[in-house]
Amino acid sequence: MTDYQKLYHLLFNAVTDARESLEKLDVAAAVRLLEDAQTQAEDHILEEP
């Protein structure tokens, strides 16, 4: 069964980190953080039986 709480925390933390990067005007870092989190979440879901 998919652990949505884990996915929520993963994505929430990525959004928080991305916002901090955007406050520093580091758009590339923000995009990278969000893309990495998206990939991790997708991988987690696809690994579920």
pLDDT digits (tens, 9 = 90+) for 11-24: 999 999 999 999 99
Angle at the Cα of 33 from the Cα atoms of 48 and 16, rounded to 5 degrees: 95
The pTM score is 0.87
Nearest of 13, 15, 34, 49 to residue 3 by alpha carbon: 49
Share of the chain above pLDDT 90, in %: 90
Q: Helices 27-47 and 4-23 meet at what angle, rounded to 10?
A: 170
Provide the domain count of the chain: 1
pLDDT digits (tens, 9 = 90+) for 2-49: 899 999 999 999 999 999 999 999 999 999 999 999 999 999 999 987
Dist. CA 15–CA 30, nearest whole Å: 8
The whole domain housing 23 covers: 4-47
Dist. CA 22–CA 44, nearest whole Å: 27
